[in-house]
């Protein structure tokens, strides 16, 4: 395991992760027609990327209508992580795939569940490397994946 040998209770780390806004900067999943901030909800064997425009997601209410992508554990081929220095987000700033290119990155290569193409690439980013590390720790300990991690220590001025 890359970061930490002992994790907190699984439900604790899942709750910490799902409360964060990650940036879905790229995906090849055909039914995803947007890039933008998403919540990542992790179940025992599934990643779900949830999107709710203009408001925070209430997890107590109907999740089904907000699920835009689901990546099953058995469909994950590889995960690569790039850790960059933390960046402070500006409240009134607009973010897109270009402006988030210096965020820390969690890239998943996963199978097409319908077998039409060999695989898809989905890239999730966060301005704070801690939350990408949390996803990495979770994947390594609960999904049994070996994540390739690269640290990028250069100074960034977005």
Read off the pLDDT of residues 84-141 as tens digits, 9 standing for 90 and up. 888 887 655 666 656 778 889 999 999 998 899 999 999 999 989 999 998 888 888 8
Question: Distances from the Cα of 23 to the Cαs of 9, 10, 97, 114, in angstroms?
Answer: 25, 23, 8, 26
pLDDT tens digits, 23-46 = 888 889 887 777 777 888 877 788
Tokens standing for 6? 């002992």
pLDDT of residue 48: 82
Helices 129-142, 10-18: axis angle to 10 degrees equals: 140
Q: SS3 for 50?
A: strand
Q: Which range has highest mean pLDDT (30-44, 52-66, 70-84)?
A: 70-84
pTM of the model: 0.77
pLDDT 10s digits, 92-106: 566 665 677 888 999
Query: Do residues 10 and 144 make contact, with C-beta atoms less than 8 angstroms apart?
Result: no
């Amino acid at each position: 395991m890359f970061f930490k040998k002992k994790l907190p209770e699984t439900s604790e780390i899942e709750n910490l992760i799902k409360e964060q806004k990650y940036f879905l900067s790229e995906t090849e999943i055909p039914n995803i027609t947007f890039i933008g901030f998403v919540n990542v909800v992790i179940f025992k064997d599934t990643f779900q990327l949830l999107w709710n425009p203009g408001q925070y997601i209430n997890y107590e209410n109907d999740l089904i209508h907000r699920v835009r992508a689901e990546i099953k554990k058995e469909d994950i081929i590889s995960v690569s992580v790039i850790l960059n220095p933390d960046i402070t987000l500006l409240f009134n700033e607009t973010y897109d795939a270009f402006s988030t290119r210096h965020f820390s990155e969690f890239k998943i290569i996963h199978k097409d569940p319908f077998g039409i193409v060999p695989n898809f690439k989905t890239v999730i980013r966060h301005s704070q490397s801690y939350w990408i590390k949390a996803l990495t720790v979770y994947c390594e300990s609960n999904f049994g994946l070996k994540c390739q991690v690269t640290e990028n220590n250069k100074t960034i001025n977005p």
